[in-house]
Amino acid sequence: MPDTLRHAWVIARKDLLVEFRSRTAILSVAVFTVLVLLVFNFGRDPTAVAAVDLAPSILWVTFTFAAMLTLNRAFQLELENQALDGLLLAPIGPRSLYLGKLLANLMFVAVVEAVGLPLFALFFNVSVLPVLPPLAGVIALATIGFVAVGTLFSAMTTRTRFAELLLPVLLLPFMIPPLIWAVLATAALLAGRPLSEAGGWLRLLGAYDIVFVTLAFFLFPATVDE
Amino acid sequence: MRLLRAGRWITVLGFVLLAGVYLRALAFTPVERSQGLAQKIFYLHVPAAIWAETAMVLVGLASVFYLFLKDPRLDRFAEASAEVGTVFAAIVLTTGPIWGKPIWGTWWSWDARLTFTLFLFLLYAGYLLLRGAVADPGARRRYAAVLGICGMCLVPFIHFSVYLFRTLHPMPIVLKPSAPSLPGSMLATWLFSLSVFTLLYVAFVMQRYALGLLREPAAGSEGLHA
């Protein structure tokens, strides 16, 4: 197990280093996030609906789209020069590969969310600061769940026809349940209600995370072995 | 092919019995007091819903065993069950609004149960799309199995949603911890309908399985190698 984690960290570091050197993907996704937030501004009538009623949905739809874009990248990166075969031939288990990709994806999505959240607070005049720690917890819980499933699915979809289209189609049915719970928990937080009121949703998010991270960890080898 | 022919005959029998279900539901079962005739759709809707969910669980179980045993018959069964499940989910999604219009006054409400049934349908759609998008049969089977297992694990989250959300959908009255709360004659009709739907599921899967076998070019020799 320590070896698995160490190898996973090496993979994650490799991905993050590649990204840090080029910065193309992270910049594109950050700009995309800003654009989605802008589009939402034109899709609502500020006099009819209070920002705080719409805010949780806007936040989570933006994160969904941004996460979807980043998830495709993880394995697309390895298609060039058949880098994936190289990784599989390396003396590391496929599960380390999965954990590494998951870690890199999580950090990637976390950066995007860290960019998106302040902009969201600014554009929609939502006071995020007073509830920042619990809100960050809700975001982390939801993100872990769908990034775990998304990383598993992207390993399959990148090697199919129309990969970019297939990943959202497969992932959204899995993404929407945690998304609904996250929206409800976020709504409770932003409306100034205590976190205990969202306890049920948080427990569901936790259960989802445990089930799907474990499942993806054990199923991943089946997506790569030939 | 014997399997195909047997499947056809059982389908014919199933449809004849389905006509019997209609007859019994309309002529020999009392009309429910508050919902009137609209309640009759319960005899189709609920058995179809049970089989739509069960079919996904069976896809998942077949997928688990496929990953261990690598027997193509299990994969063929999963494919057949998924397609039949799609049909049953479509039945649920069409009979539901027909009942909803007179009772709720709207065809569709974004009720938890409806929404999650729609996800189940989209899950099936994604599963079938993934199967269509992978050219290599070995990879297709493994990918489909991974998605099938994830889908099976999503079903409990979908199923118990009705207990967690405030919902307009009637609570379960037959499959619940306490005894069924409906008159004996209605229960008898419902059980009759459930057994007819079970028969139809078996018949459809048999036919689809046989077609899957015919579609594979070297099905006979492959079966020996596995």
pLDDT tens figures, B175-189: 666 666 677 778 888
Q: Looking at the predicted structure, is the pLDDT value of residue A129 above 50?
A: yes
DSSP codes, B113-155 = HHHHHHHHHHHHHHHHHHHHH--SHHHHHHHHHHHHHHHHHHH
Residue A98: the pLDDT is 92
Statement: residue A43 has pLDDT above 60: yes
**Taking CB atoms and an 8 Å limit, are B146 and A225 in contact across chains?**
no
- Cβ within 8 Å, pair B150-A172: no
Interface of B with A in 101-160 (CB under 8 A): 116, 119-120, 122-123, 125-126, 129-130, 133-135, 138-139, 142-143, 145-147, 149-150, 153-154, 157-158
CA distance A207 to A27: 33
Indicate if the pLDDT at residue B222 is higher than 70: no
- DSSP assigned state of B206: H
Q: How far out from the chain centre does Cα B50 lie? A: 6
CA distance B91 to B98: 11
Judging contacts by C-beta atoms under 8 Å, the chain A residues touching residue B133 are 157, 160-162, 166
* Beta-carbon separation of B133 and A166 below 8 A: yes
Least reliable range by pLDDT among A159-173, B118-132, B159-173, B202-216: B159-173
Cβ of residue B16 closer than 8 Å to a chain A Cβ: no
B166: enclosing H helix or E strand: none
pLDDT tens digits along B141-188: 999 999 999 999 988 887 666 566 655 667 666 666 666 667 777 888
CA A3 to mean position of chain CA atoms = 26
The tokens of A153 are what? 């699915």
What is the residue type of A49?
A: V
**Average confidence (pLDDT) over A130-153:** 92
* Closest partner CB to B133 (pick from A149, A161, A172): A161
**Mean pLDDT over all residues of chain A?**
87
Q: Does A222 touch chain B if contact means CB atoms closer than 8 Å? A: yes
**What percentage of chain A exceeds 90 in pLDDT?**
30
* Interface touch B130/A170, C-beta < 8 Å: yes
The answer to whether the predicted template modeling score (pTM) of the entire model surpasses 0.90 is no
Q: Residue by residue, what is the 3-state secondary structure of chain A?
A: CHHHHHHHHHHHHHHHHHHHHHCHHHHHHHHHHHHHHHHHHHCCCCCCCCHHHHHHHHHHHHHHHHHHHHHHHHHHCCCHHHHHHHHHHCCCCHHHHHHHHHHHHHHHHHHHHHHHHHHHHHHCCCCCHHHHHHHHHHHHHHHHHHHHHHHHHHHHHCCCCCHHHHHHHHHHHHHHHHHHHHHHHHHHHHCCCCHHHHHHHHHHHHHHHHHHHHHHHHHHHHHHCC
pLDDT given at position B226: 40
Of A198-207, B35-44, B145-154, least confident by mean pLDDT is B35-44
User: What are the structure tokens assigned to B206, written together?
Assistant: 């048999």
Tens of pLDDT along B45-67? 889 988 998 999 999 999 999 99
DSSP 8-class letter at B32: B
Predicted pLDDT at B225: 43
CA distance A181 to B37: 36
Structural tokens at position B60 = 């998942």
A73-103: per-residue pLDDT in tens?
Answer: 888 888 888 888 888 888 888 889 999 999 9
* Statement: residue A53 has pLDDT above 80: no
Between B195 and B222, whose confidence is greater?
A: B195
**Do B164 and A200 make contact, defined as CB atoms within 8 angstroms?**
yes
* Of A213-222, B47-56, B79-88, B166-175, the least confident: B166-175
Q: Which of B135, B145, B147 sits opposite A170 (nearest CB)?
A: B147
d(CA B19, CA B196): 10
- Number of residues that this document lists for chain A: 226
**What would the two tokens of residue B157 be?**
């989250």
Predicted pLDDT at B178: 63
As given in the structure block, the two tokens for residue A129 are 């600061």
pLDDT above 80: residue A44: no
What is the rounded average pLDDT of the residues A139-166?
90
pLDDT of res. B181: 66
Interface test with A, best of B110, B130, B163, B166 (most A CBs within 10 A): B130
> Which are the contacts of A115, defined by CB distance < 8 A and separation ≥ 6?
A30, A33, A34
